Amino acid sequence: MEPLDYKDMVQRLSAIAEPQRSLNDDLRAFNRQQVAINADVRTTLARVETLLARMIERSANGREA
């Protein structure tokens, strides 16, 4: 196999780079969605923790002597 010249190398690298750009764009979009989902999960978790704390306070009320 004979060595590639500069033009052939650039063409091959360009051919490899384009699908990678598309993949990177897809990953960036996924990451943006994931950040939004994580924020919603944190909000929901905080609400559940608050509700549990209120329920535990009420159920323990009057039990301590």
Q: How far apart are the first and last CA of the chain?
A: 89
Q: Can you give the pTM of this predicted structure? A: 0.59
- pLDDT tens digits for range 10-56: 999 999 999 999 999 999 999 999 999 999 999 999 999 999 999 99
Q: What is the pLDDT of residue 31?
A: 98
Rounded to an integer, what distance in angstroms lies between the CA atom of residue 50 and that of residue 46?
Answer: 6
Predicted pLDDT of residue 46: 97
What's the rounded Cα separation, in Å, for the pair 47 and 49? 5
Helices (H), 1-65: 6-60
CA 8 – CA 2 distance, rounded (Å): 12
Higher-confidence position of 4 and 1: 4
